[in-house]
Amino acid sequence: MANRTNVGGWLQGKTVRKGGITSTNAHSTRSNTPQVQSTSTTVFGGGVKDSSGRTSEYFSMDDQCPVCKSDRYLNPKLRLLVSSCYHKMCESCIDRLFTLGPAPCPICQKVLRKLAFTPQTFEDLTVEKEVAVRRRIAKEFNKRRDDFQDLRAYNDYLEEVEDLTFNLINDIDVPQTEARIAAHRAENAALIERNVQRDEQYAHALKEQEEIERQEREQRASEARREEEMEREEREKGRREIIDRLETSSKNAAKVIAKSRAEANKRSSARTAADTVLKSNAQLLRSRAAQSTVVPDVPHVPLQDDWYAYEDIYTLMSSYEDPYSEAVRKDREGIMRAGGYRVEEAWERALRSAVMGLDLLPLVGQGISDVDKDPSSQPDVVMAAA
Amino acid sequence: MDAVERANTERQKRWVKDQKVGEGTYAVVYRGREFATGRKVAIKKIKVGQFKDGLDMSAIREVKYLRELHHQNVIELLDVFSSKTNLNLVLEFLDSDLEKIIKDRTLVFLPADIKAWMAMTFRGLEFCHRNFVLHRDLKPNNLLIASDGQLKIADFGLARDFTDPGHKMTCQVITRWYRPPELLFGSRYYSTAVDIWSVGCIFAELMLRTPYLPGETDMDQLKTIFRALGTPTEEDWPGHTKLPDYVPVGQFPRTPLRDLFTAATTDTLNLLSKCLIYEPRKRIGAKEALHHAYFFALPYPSHPSKLPKLSNNTSSRPLDEVDGNVDMNASGPGVKASAPNRLKRKLSSPGDELGGRPLARRLDFTQKRS
């Protein structure tokens, strides 16, 4: 009774290793509830797996087989499995009814096979069914946003998928829905295949990354161990040294000890300093990345003022009648060009200086009178004074 | 003269010198503050007297250009005053520079960080160039970082404005590792391209975390450059053999940048190679660089406030603790902070049994869906 009142009965489910039931005893020390035990020789696969690849099996003290009415009191090893029509049955019933081949379900008369029975994960069988349906649908309807031209098309597609799923879950127009699914499969076979491969690659990459991080952790741990070992050895050595020195030297014992203590301290502090520098790169990167989520980064803005909005004030010509720069432009030796000097820059400067103040209003008020009163605002004057 | 002196003492009173923070060849730098507001400033006291003919050239240059240039990415000169025989420049106080940040091995740069620094450098430089000022000493050491993360170009001691045609400039400028080949070959006529080369070297240094072209002498510098980028041919750089100090330094083959910058994107390398073109006239300009595809590509440049900063001991402590927690529950969220999107995907779709798809999909009305 107590189990029923809890939310999500599968939380109390027992964990069965993917490979087989025989290994379940391995975790028996952890729990005080009886383990799921199988009386059948058949290994039933399927069921909903959690992220670690295990199947959590739903299990309750008032389980009763709807077919033979046997319950946990009569048969402590009772294990209920779910048929493809989502009816529960105990293992002995399954063995009895289906060992000789496909047979109708005793509840709904649908023809079932023995191997199509799966362990139960959720207390509510409609959830079990929904999960199975969604899993099946997701396998074939695996298009992504980038497979569509616009968001609208993608949303329409999601809507359609949801429709199909809903129909299957609630047994509405099943033949028609199946036909639609088959049609979709036929139409998009290549795309589905490609997306499956892409997902696999992604999962693979994820696994690889995990593996790399695991190795890194291990390496760090072993480094730490080695360091500890070294430190211990060093301490040991130091102690021996003190004893040796006390043996051989004629100095004051307290002085000798203090001296070697100081030496040891110096050594160990040098080591810790080195340690802080040698922090692993990954760790640093991690803390750096964790920092960088507070203020959002903004796209690059090349220039943050309107300087070049006034470019049209003048037009720089390709050449000018300019006796001053004639020698430069001729550049007989070619050294101006090689050095990167541009006479255009000089021209541009001259032009810009000429037009720079054209549309500025003359200075009035504070600025002018300030300068008048206070000639030292010109740094040159100050220098002259100095 | 009296009025000038009075005004000067008035100015002097506005600022308070605190302690000495550094000493250069021609100046001593003090930390100080504004008397009225308490705002932190740096006061650069120029030593006068040890030069026969008055003030040191670089002090004059610095005042001359900083007085004119006001930009978010250029250091601000707040005031100038004299005390006894010294000239004092009051500058914005900026506590770190890019060199210190590059050298701090506990900091990790994301590609977005480098992009942000480069954007700020180019923006500041573009501002100088549009005002016809050549900086002529760009290096990480001279790119200061404000406490809010803004990068500011500083040290205009070697700056000068564009010359009139036919006027010679000195080629003994720019710290050697960041000096372009045309200056190493002794060209006396050059342009904005010299600064771009320095920025290219800084760009590479940000990615490598070590100087890109560290030559030991001027001769060796040329060799280092050619070893990295290949000896230029007459076609690469017309006329370079006629430059005053041209000397052949040996033939080196060109190695693709990709070999050294293995993790960089194509855009990144494209911009870098354009900054390091031998022929100065073909080298990218600062304005052009700011419009380069590199800056528009994802990831966006980091927000200045998020850029790596020099860590004080106090601030590094909590970070360590975070790391520890993350390692403890290795399967929990947040472990793969480096790839948050992938992690999210994984949690919502438990593996291959479900064909990598979430069980139920919701209708999706947002335009952005990863």
Structural domains of chain B, count: 2
Tell if the CB–CB gap between A286 and B238 is shorter than 8 Å.
no
Statement to judge: residues B145 and B34 lie in one domain? no
Cβ contacts of A292 within 8 Å, gap of 6 or more: B110, B112, B302, B306
How far apart CA B279 and CA B283 sit, in angstroms, is: 7
Q: Looking at the partner chain, which of A51, A284, A376 has a beta carbon nearest the beta carbon of B106?
A: A284
Amino acid (one-letter) located at B220: D
Interchain CB distance below 8 Å, B63 and A345: no
- What pLDDT, in 10s, does the model give residues A157-205? 999 999 999 998 888 888 898 898 889 888 888 888 888 888 888 899 8
Is residue B355 situated within a structural domain? no
Strand-pair partners of B79: B90
Say whether both B85 and B104 belong to one domain: no
Residue B344 is assigned to a structural domain of this protein: no
pLDDT greater at residue A369 or residue B160: B160
The overall longest dimension of chain B from CA atoms, in Å, is: 90
User: Using CB atoms within 10 A of its CB, is residue B101 exposed (0-12), middle (13-18) or buried (19+)?
Assistant: buried
Residue B132: list chain A partners with CB under 8 A: 345, 349
Averaged over B181-206, what is the pLDDT?
Answer: 92
Average pLDDT over residues A286-296: 62
Which residues from chain B sit within 8 angstroms of residue A146, using beta carbons? Answer: none
Q: Say what the pLDDT of residue B196 is.
A: 95
**Nearest C-alpha in B relative to A375:** B4
Neighbours of A364 (CB within 10 A): 8
CB contact under 8 Å between B187 and A276, yes or no, is: no
Confirm or reject contact between B209 and chain A (CB < 8 A).
Answer: no
Q: Is B322 on the interface with A (CB under 8 A)?
A: yes
Count of alpha carbons within 13 Å of B66, Cβ hemisphere only?
Answer: 26
Q: Least CA distance to A323: which residue of chain B?
A: B165
Residue among A155, A302, A349 whose CB faces B162 most closely: A349
What is the rounded average pLDDT for all residues in chain B? 81
**Scanning every residue of chain B, which has its alpha carbon at the shortest distance from the alpha carbon of A141?**
B357
Tell whether A246 lies on the interface with B, counting CB pairs under 8 A. Answer: no
pLDDT averaged over every residue in chain A: 76
On the question of pLDDT at B7 being above 60, the answer is yes
Q: Are residues B143 and B158 in the same domain?
A: yes
Q: Is the pLDDT of residue A14 over 60?
A: no
Domain interval for residue B131: 97-296
The tens digit of pLDDT for each residue in B68-115 reads 899 999 999 999 888 877 888 999 998 888 999 999 888 889 899 999
Q: Do the Cβ atoms of A79 and A90 come closer than 8 Å? A: yes
Q: Are B76 and B119 found together in one domain?
A: no
d(CA A263, CA A245): 14
Question: Is residue B118 located within the same domain as residue B229?
Answer: yes
User: Both B288 and B139 in a single domain?
Assistant: yes
* Distances, alpha carbon A93 to alpha carbons A16, A104, A355, B36, B295, in Å: 21, 13, 100, 93, 70
pLDDT of residue A255: 79
Both structure tokens of B342? 């992938």
Reply yes or no on whether B259 is catalytic.
no
Give the residue on A whose Cα is nearest the Cα of B292: A302
Mutate to test the interface with A, among B129, B189, B195 (most CBs of A within 10 A): B189
Residue A377 tokens, joined: 């605002």
Assign residue B52 the CATH number of its domain: 3.30.200.20
- Interface residue A309 vs chain B (CB under 8 A): no
The single-letter DSSP state of residue A108 is T
Is A373 a residue whose pLDDT tops 60?
no
> Which pLDDT score is estimated for B369?
45
CA distance linking residue B31 with residue A143, whole number of Å: 63
Q: Is the CB of residue B72 less than 8 Å away from at least one CB of chain A?
A: yes
Entry field: residues in chain B: 370
- Residue by residue, DSSP assigns B278-329 as SSTTTSPPHHHHHTSHHHHSSSPPPPGGGS--PPPHHHHHHHHHHHHHHHHT
Contact B165 A298 (CB under 8 A): no
- What CATH number is associated with residue B277? 1.10.510.10
Q: Do A200 and B352 touch (CB under 8 A)?
A: yes
The reply to whether B168 and B51 lie within a common domain is no
In angstroms, the separation between the Cα of residue A278 and the nearest Cα of chain B is 8
Asked if A360 has any chain B CB less than 8 Å from its own CB, the reply is no
B322 domain residue, yes or no: no
Which positions 137-196 of B are in contact with A (Cβ < 8 Å)? 162-166, 182, 185, 187-194
Contacts of B107 in chain A (CB under 8 A): 284, 288
Residue B168: helix, strand or coil by DSSP?
coil
Q: What percent of chain B has pLDDT over 90?
A: 36
**Is B82 in the A-facing interface, judged by CB distances under 8 Å?**
yes
Q: How far is B190 from chain A (nearest CA, A)?
A: 4
Q: Could you tell me if B16 and B109 lie in one domain?
A: no
Burial status of residue B60 (CB atoms within 10 A of its CB: 0-12, 13-18, 19 or more): middle
Inspect the interface and report whether the beta carbons of A303 and B287 lie closer than 8 Å. yes
For residue A379, list chain B residues with Cβ-Cβ distance below 8 A: 63-64, 67, 80
Local confidence band at B269 (pLDDT 50, 70, 90 cut-offs): very high
Evaluate whether B274 touches B85 at the Cβ level (below 8 Å).
no
pLDDT of residue B53: 65
Q: At what angle do helices B313-328 and A281-291 cross, to 10 degrees?
A: 100
Nearest to A52, CA basis, from B87, B353, B68, B162: B353
Q: In what order do the strands lie in the sheet with A118-119?
A: A88-90, A80-82, A118-119
- Cβ separation A385–B82 shorter than 8 A: yes
**Are B80 and B103 contained in the same domain?**
no
Residue predicted with more confidence, B151 or B59: B151
pLDDT above 70 for A52: no
Q: Which residues of A touch B239 (CB under 8 A)?
A: 333-335, 337-338
Kindly report the number of other CB atoms within 10 A of residue B165's CB atom.
20
Residue A377 has what pLDDT?
Answer: 43
B225 and B271, same domain (yes or no): yes
Selecting among B56, B137, B155, B195, the annotated active-site residue is B137
| ipTM value > 0.90 | no
In chain A, residues with a C-beta closer than 8 Å to the C-beta of B194 are 340
pLDDT higher than threshold 90 for residue A120: no
Residue A275 reports pLDDT greater than 70: no
Q: Are residues B261 and B144 in the same domain?
A: yes
Give residues 92 to 131 of A whose Cβ lies within 8 Å of B: 131
**Which residues in chain A have their CB less than 8 angstroms from residue B348's CB?**
none
Give the residue from B261, B296, B331 where a domain finishes.
B296
**Beta carbons of B165 and A294 less than 8 Å apart:** no
Please give the angle made by the CA atoms of B266, B270 and B273, to the nearest 5 degrees. Answer: 135
Residues of chain B with C-beta less than 8 angstroms from the C-beta of A217: 327, 330
Q: B243, B275, B296: which is the final residue of a domain?
A: B296
Evaluate if residue B203 carries a pLDDT over 60.
yes
Q: CB distance A340–B1 less than 8 Å?
A: no
Q: Is A168 on the interface with B (CB under 8 A)?
A: no
Structural domain contains residue B272: yes
- Please tell me if residue B234 touches chain A, with a CB cutoff of 8 Å: no
Q: Alpha-carbon distance A384 to B3, whole Å?
A: 13
CB atoms within 10 A of CB B39: 13
Residue that terminates a domain, selected from B296, B313, B338: B296
pLDDT at B12 over 50: yes
Report angle CA B73, B76, B81 to the nearest 5 degrees: 165
Burial pattern A243-252, b for ≥16 Cβ within 10 A else e, equals eeeeeeeeee
Q: Residue B112: which of A297, A328, A333 has the nearest Cβ?
A: A297
Collect contacts of A34-41 with beta carbons under 8 A, ≥24 apart. Answer: A34/A76, A36/A79, A37/A77, A37/A79, A38/A77, A38/A79, A38/A91, A39/A75, A39/A77, A39/A79, A39/A91, A39/A92, A40/A79, A40/A91, A40/A92, A40/A94, A40/A95
Q: Which residues of A touch B9 (CB under 8 A)?
A: none
Provide the shortest C-alpha distance from residue B236 to chain A (in Å): 11
**B105 shares a domain with B88:** no
- Compute the nearest-CA separation of B269 from chain A (Å): 18
Q: Give the pLDDT mean for B332-347.
A: 36
Nearest residue in B to A324, CA atom: B165
Position B76 in a domain? yes
Average pLDDT over residues A87-110: 88
* Contact between B301 and A282 using a beta-carbon 8 Å cutoff: no
Residue B158, classed as helix, strand or coil, is coil
Q: For residue B166, give the nearest of A327, A337, A375 by CB distance.
A: A327
> Considering all CA atoms of chain A, what is the largest pairwise distance in Å, rounded to the nearest integer?
116
Decide if B329 is inside a domain: no
pLDDT of residue A135: 87
3-state secondary structure at position A140: helix
Are A338 and B237 a contacting pair at CB < 8 A? yes
Residue B351 within any structural domain of the chain: no
Report chain B residues whose CB lies below 8 A from the CB of A18.
none
Query: How does residue A30 score in pLDDT terms, banded at 50, 70 and 90?
Result: very low
Q: CA-based angle A198:B364:A192, to the nearest 5?
A: 25
Task: Specify whether the CB–CB gap between B25 and B51 falls below 8 A.
Answer: no
Angle between helix axes A174-187 and A151-169 (nearest 10 degrees) is: 140
B160 assigned to some structural domain: yes
pTM: 0.55
